[in-house]
Structure 1
Amino acid sequence: MMNQKPSLISEPIPYKTLFPWLHLFRVFRLAVDFQKILLASAGLLLLLLGNHLFNKLPFAPLQQPGNIQQVQPNILFPPQTPQQMLQPLSGSSLLRENSFSAFGLFSDGTSLLEPMSFFTEPVAALFRIDASWSSLAYATTQLLWAIIVWAVFGGAITRIAAIQFAQDEHIGSRSALRFSLKRILSLVSAPLLPFAGLGFFWILCLLIGLFGNIPDAGGIIVSLLWGLAFLFAFVMSLILLVTLAGWPLMMTTISVEDSDGFDGLSRIFSYLFGRIWYFLWLVIVTLCYASICLFFVQLLIQLVSHLSFWGVSWGMGSKQASELFHQNQNTLATTISMGWGSILNILFTGFVISFFWSANTVIYFLLRKCDDGTPLDHVYNADEDQEPTDELPLAGVAKAGEPVIERPFTPEEPAEPENQSEQDTEETS
């Protein structure tokens, strides 16, 4: 026998099968979706409108605890200088002057984690020791409003992203909003359930503190019970950290699985406790990739704003063009020009929010596959546009795929009367 020569053509290496986290690099393509950006922008505007109205409530303090302040709608007032004109603003910088930058590359604090500040900052205000009842009520109102808004719009964005990622199909924004509105109770209850556990352990700590009001022996009793306070605080810390880290994944769970709030909470607690190191690796890769993507998108926005001003100034004059963006001039032209700048800022922030929710959708798929081996293309995909009907199916219609067998018609013979049959029996006997 002749030796067969080995084939020089080799099969491609399935990198995404060996390293599933490479699917994270699909997030940019998922985020650059005009429908998602519009949904994110609408959610952002609703958050700003709600916080603006909350500042007018009787219990709204002038200075919020920590970094939470009254809403400064800077997105409606771009910087005065043409060099800073139309500079994109991050979502959380609209609520405060000093925005933080977590794993970001930009000096203005733009980061993938910025959309979470709408949720994390009110939570941080609730745990301040020197917080007043008015500040607690204000922070609670902001927190509930953020949960409701992101339950609707974040749930719709994750629904679209889940269908695109798993099945490479696309659903409309109306269908996605209808999906999230039908499951609004599940989307809202998922992040609120952990706060019930926090409240339980907080009450236990409060009871320990009440012993301190006993004359003379109160301090000794509280000191002896301080170990229990440490234990209760440890449990609260675990619940709080998992809630803050897993809140976006809870929204994604319901959008992917069509489950209830308890299932979304239990799944994320199981995934994070069981696959914590894999989760941290996914977060690090996502943040590094997001920093590069957001850098180039922001660079594009800055270039668009600069070139637009540069081109117009050659015909209008740089001085006259600069006056269009001065806030001190309350003219119709200034209002319209600043409005265009605000639209550009909102769209950029909408892209950041779209990237945030799309990234969490992909992270959830990867965590689920790592934990229970569920394929990445598995997603709940019911026909939402098909409305149930009360009409009964037609009789005699065969099931799909089964042949219809026609039998010849045979007339039935008339039955003999009972008396005649008895008579024939007697005659036979």
Structure 2
Amino acid sequence: MSNIANTVTSVRWTAIFPWLILVRAARVSLMVRVIGLAVVGVALTQGGWAIIDGLTIARDDAQLHQRLTDSAIDAQPGVEFGFDARHGFDLHAQVLGSPLVRGWSWASQSFGILFERGGNWPRWFGALLGGLWAIAVWALFGGAIARIAALYLTRGETVVPLAALKAAFVRWPSTAGAPVFALIAIFLLSLPLIFIGWTIRLDFFALLAGLLWFLILIGGVALAVLAIGLAIGWPLMWSTVAVERTDAFDGISRGYAYVYQRPLHLLFFVIVAGALGLLAQAAINLIVEGSIDATQWAVSSGAGELRSLELLEPGVAENRPSLGGMGLLGSKMMRFWTDALYWFAAAFPMAYLFPAATGIYLLMRRQIDAADLGDVTFDEGDPQRGLPTLANDPVTSVPHVVDPAATAAPHPPTAPAP
């Protein structure tokens, strides 16, 4: 039976609801290659922050930077398997905050410390170094993740980690330069206000500042506009470089424009991405915890409860004199790989942040610039589409692919030198 004319046989939902691209962004964040890049980036960031905190903060003070992996909580002794099942990343605890928000706030924490009131110079200096280190690390690893997301969301293509890192390295100055230039502008704009704050220590200048306070507030408004735009828009700046392959100034321009020109659209996309992030984080935690619990259950069934407790639980093997050197080494290796798997769940907020930001960037670009969701720039130019050119071999008559370089116009022969 033939279809009646003008009958709808299929619906292209992405054309009706473009924000469904954020579902594909969540799929990108679940790729092993993306989570692996995030794990390396988190490890490098936390290692650098630990060194910076040790150099700038007194030993008695609390650490300046919070570790993304400090959200681990120790569960009570497990009843099911007869030993303490260390759920380093409890499922319910981790899904209370969206990975989009947690990744953004964790990566931005250094600059939040810079704008604290009542701080001191060592703390501010440590926060500045920590922020610059985070920019340096994530301009590479976050840029690689954003590039993977950009090609997948626009062309459906996948990129291996090394190729993504190479692409991010090529544009590293642009990626890192976007927030750095914005920070320099904020600092220059704040210098007059800092000078005014230094002068009002004297009563005369306090009176003069009071008379002109409305002008000072205007400067504060401009400073707030720059700071808020940077705080919200820096992931969009990096997505700009990943998609458009342009310079830092284009990233700054688009980042601020997309934050302030369509704030309600941006808020809606962030809410949708945050909700999808909760589901993605729950899936990662379920896989990680399920894998570890299944392994521990199966191993304990063969090794016995006491032996499993000695080998698998942290701090138990070291307090067991009966455990030999090889057994102690084996226990440490088991716990090392268990912790490595836990890190996949811990680093997931950073694995989700950049694909979600790239998806939001594509949606905002469509709203403001009327660009197609599939538009993306390649470093070497757009790939050639269609089938390659074929030609018959003059001897065997078998078709073969023609080398494009061979079809180019030959250079005229040069006359031999006299």
Shift of 1:323: 2.7
1:157 alignment partner in structure 2: 145
Structure 2 residue corresponding to 1:195, chosen from 183, 188, 209 = 183
1:396 alignment partner in structure 2: none
> 1:233-285 CA distances to partner (integer Å, 9 max, x unpaired)?
22222211111111111111001101111110001111111111111000001
> 1:184-203 CA distances to partner (integer Å, 9 max, x unpaired)?
11111101122122212311
| Greater Rg over alpha carbons, structure | 1
1:272 aligns with 2:259: yes
1:252 aligns with 2:211: no
Q: Is the 8 A contact 2:241 2:251 kept in 1?
A: yes
What amino acid is the match of 1:345? Y
Structure 2 residue corresponding to 1:241, chosen from 210, 228, 248 = 228
Structure 2 residue corresponding to 1:119, chosen from 107, 113, 122 = 107
> 1:34-93 CA distances to partner (integer Å, 9 max, x unpaired)?
221221111111112212222332x2334668x835769759998795555242389xxx
Distance 2:204 2:223 in 1: 28
Shift of 1:126: 0.7
User: Residue 192 and residue 72 in structure 1: after superposition, are their counterparts in 2 closer, same or farther (change >3 A)?
Assistant: closer
User: Residue 374 and residue 69 in structure 1: after superposition, are their counterparts in 2 closer, same or farther (change >3 A)?
Assistant: closer
Distance 2:114 2:145 in 1: 28
Shift of 1:231: 1.9
What amino acid is the match of 1:243? L
Q: Is the 8 A contact 1:68 1:121 kept in 2?
A: no
Q: Which runs of 5+ in 1 are unaligned?
A: 91-100, 387-398, 405-429
1:131 alignment partner in structure 2: 119
1:186 alignment partner in structure 2: 174
Structure 2 residue corresponding to 1:301, chosen from 288, 291, 309 = 288
1:28 alignment partner in structure 2: 26
What amino acid is the match of 1:246? G
Distance 1:74 1:15 in 2: 40
2:89 alignment partner in structure 1: 88
TM-score with structure 1 length normalisation? 0.78
What amino acid is the match of 1:61? A
TM-score with structure 2 length normalisation? 0.80
For the aligned residue pairs, the C-alpha RMSD in angstroms reads 3.2
- Secondary structure of 2:99's counterpart equals coil
User: Residue 73 and residue 359 in structure 1: after superposition, are their counterparts in 2 closer, same or farther (change >3 A)?
Assistant: closer
What amino acid is the match of 1:152? L
Distance 2:212 2:408 in 1: 77
Q: Is the 8 A contact 1:62 1:70 kept in 2?
A: no
Q: Which runs of 5+ in 2 are unaligned?
A: 78-82, 319-327, 384-403, 410-418
Q: Which moved more, 1:252-261 or 1:194-203?
A: 194-203
1:10 alignment partner in structure 2: 8
Q: Which moved more, 1:69-78 or 1:112-121?
A: 69-78
User: Residue 88 and residue 261 in structure 1: after superposition, are their counterparts in 2 closer, same or farther (change >3 A)?
Assistant: same
What amino acid is the match of 1:68? L
Distance 2:29 2:4 in 1: 45
* Residue-pair matches, total: 373
Shift of 1:346: 1.6
1:310 aligns with 2:275: no
Structure 1 residue corresponding to 2:330, chosen from 326, 329, 333 = 333
Structure 2 residue corresponding to 1:56, chosen from 44, 54, 57 = 54
Shift of 1:345: 1.3
Distance 2:275 2:73 in 1: 31
- Secondary structure of 1:248's counterpart equals helix
1:95 alignment partner in structure 2: none
User: Residue 233 and residue 32 in structure 1: after superposition, are their counterparts in 2 closer, same or farther (change >3 A)?
Assistant: same
Distance 1:129 1:29 in 2: 40
Q: Which moved more, 1:168-177 or 1:142-151?
A: 168-177
1:229 aligns with 2:216: yes
What amino acid is the match of 2:64? I
Q: Is the 8 A contact 2:42 2:68 kept in 1?
A: no
Shift of 1:146: 0.4
> 1:163-187 CA distances to partner (integer Å, 9 max, x unpaired)?
1111111222222111111221111
